């Protein structure tokens, strides 16, 4: 793995964000974390040499790379400076490693790897950090036995560590709940391609975060695999399909883009993000439309999105399809006139932290009124004041509150290094918005 010089701010205990008068910039955003994870998992099953360009090299994607390598069937080379991941078949069969696979806080990669371990002969144990050992996996564990894979929670609580008895991913028909996480469905879809026979997946209730499943199907199609579907209720994956290898270019990360769009919104400035258009399958692109409802204006071409801030006003919005950008939206709402009610976001309770509780607590520190509900929050905009922000080892809390600091004096971000999970160059990217190139002190 080739590394660029690390930003020393990643090791700092805390950073103070400098306010900025306005912004007018074109900003390049790193590759999509969600697509990088999906292409990486698919490439590892393809039997083809594959290169991912503009890949996101972050904690999550590195954990997935190392987890895949531990199964012995591929070699994964990471070039951080070029943003490139090269996947090469090793010529060996997939097998369980002797040591447990540690996935840190990488939720999507861990869920992908649980199903993937079903292809590996032997018993694989997969675990993560303390928070990951609280996160739910039960729906996925319940769906795998019908496909021939025994997967159980070691402690019997539906959370990691997970023990998988692999080597017999037969295929067939299974049923799964989509109410907790769409990642379970994506895990099955990706790994069904390597099953011994066709796989039929039935969603027994309403699937949340549907755009992430659309991304999975789009990534599979890009690699030569076709999925038959009946909306979001039934998916059929035919066995024996041929993958393509070769180069794949990962589009910019729409979740990472959200922080730059929020900067334009709260400062009344302009930001252009190249390399991504309105036809992206990433659900978080939908934040653009939400911000226009709040008073911003947006323009698109085939390969760029531009957002210009305006007079912000509160709205009511259902964010079930794009929960990862809810913290970003909450920051914009804190500067808007009136109240913003954000609903259908219960899934945020089981992310890297309880994001509804975290955003509520930290905005209240800044003097903003927030009403918290089990699956919603109402934010009454005002004039946020400076505060020391606890980030809960959650990259999205750190980044969204950094954007609040662009307009508010005295915003201090604790544990700024946690951004490495999804946007390791976040602080350098923020620097590019400043005339003197320095965003923190």
Residues serving a catalytic function are: 324
Best CA proximity match to 114, nearest among 76, 146, 152, 87: 152
Contacts of 252 by beta carbon, 8 Å cutoff, 6+ apart? 28, 29, 30, 31, 32, 54, 273, 274, 275, 276
Best CA proximity match to 154, nearest among 174, 131, 137: 137
CA atoms of 177 and 208, how far apart (whole Å): 10
Residue 425 has, within 13 A of its CA and on its CB side, a CA count of 18
Q: For the range 97-100, what are the long-range contacts, defined as Cβ-Cβ under 8 Å and sequence gap of 24 or more?
A: 97/70, 97/71, 97/72, 97/124, 99/70, 100/125, 100/126, 100/127, 100/161
Question: Which helix H or strand E contains 76, and what residues bound it?
Answer: strand 74-79
CA atoms of 290 and 293, how far apart (whole Å): 5
CA atoms of 402 and 284, how far apart (whole Å): 19
Cα distances (Å, whole numbers) of residue 68 to 87, 111, 115, 266: 10, 12, 12, 41
**Within a 10 A sphere around the Cβ of 240, how many other Cβ atoms?**
9
CA atoms of 40 and 36, how far apart (whole Å): 6
CA atoms of 379 and 361, how far apart (whole Å): 12
Scored b (16 or more CB within 10 A) or e, 359-377 reads bbbbbebbebebeeeeebb
Cα distance from N-terminal residue to C-terminal residue, the chain = 31
E-strand stretches of 238-355:
246-249, 270-274, 297-301, 304-308, 316-318, 339-343
Q: Torsions phi, psi of 95, nearest 5?
A: -145, 155
Give the pair of three-digit tokens for residue 9: 């701010």
């Amino acid at each position: 793995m080739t590394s660029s010089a690390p930003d020393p701010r990643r090791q700092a205990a805390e950073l103070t964000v400098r306010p900025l008068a306005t912004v007018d910039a074109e900003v390049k955003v790193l590759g999509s974390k969600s697509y990088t994870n999906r292409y990486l998992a698919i490439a590892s099953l393809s039997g083809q040499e594959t290169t991912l360009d503009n890949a996101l090299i972050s904690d999550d994607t590195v954990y997935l790379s190392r987890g895949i390598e531990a199964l012995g069937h591929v070699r994964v080379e990471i070039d951080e400076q070029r943003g490139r991941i090269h996947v090469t078949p090793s010529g060996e069969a997939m097998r369980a490693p002797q040591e447990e696979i540690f996935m840190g806080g990488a939720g999507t990669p861990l869920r992908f790897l649980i199903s993937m371990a079903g292809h590996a002969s032997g018993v694989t144990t997969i675990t993560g950090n303390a928070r990951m050992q609280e996160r739910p996996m039960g729906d996925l564990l319940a769906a795998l036995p019908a496909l021939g894979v025994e997967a159980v929670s070691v402690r019997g609580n539906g959370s990691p560590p997970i023990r998988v008895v692999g080597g017999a991913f037969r295929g067939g028909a299974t049923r799964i709940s989509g109410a907790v996480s769409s990642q379970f469905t994506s895990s099955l879809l990706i790994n069904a391609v390597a099953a011994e026979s066709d796989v039929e997946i039935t969603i027994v209730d309403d699937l949340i975060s549907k755009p992430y499943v659309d991304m999975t199907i789009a990534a599979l199609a890009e690699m030569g695999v076709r999925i038959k579907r009946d909306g979001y209720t039934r998916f059929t994956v035919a066995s024996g399909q041929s993958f393509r290898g070769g180069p794949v270019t990962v589009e910019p990360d729409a979740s990472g883009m959200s922080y730059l769009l929020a900067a334009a919104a709260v400062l009344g400035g302009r930001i252009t993000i190249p390399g991504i258009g309105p036809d992206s399958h990433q659900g978080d692109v939908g934040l653009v439309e939400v911000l226009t409802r709040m008073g911003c204006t947006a323009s698109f071409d085939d390969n760029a999105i531009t957002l210009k801030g305006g007079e912000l006003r509160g709205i009511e919005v259902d964010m079930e399809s794009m929960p990862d950008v809810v913290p970003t939206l909450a920051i914009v709402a804190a500067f808007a006139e009136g109240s913003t009610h954000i609903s259908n976001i219960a899934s945020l309770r089981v992310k890297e932290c309880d994001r509804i509780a975290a955003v509520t607590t930290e905005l209240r520190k800044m003097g903003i009124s927030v009403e918290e509900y089990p699956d919603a929050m109402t934010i009454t905009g005002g004039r946020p004041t400076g505060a020391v922000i606890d980030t809960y080892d959650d990259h999205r809390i750190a980044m969204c509150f950094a954007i609040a600091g662009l307009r508010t004096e005295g915003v201090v971000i604790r544990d700024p290094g946690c951004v490495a999970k999804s946007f390791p160059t976040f602080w350098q990217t923020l620097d590019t918005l400043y005339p003197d190139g320095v965003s923190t002190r």
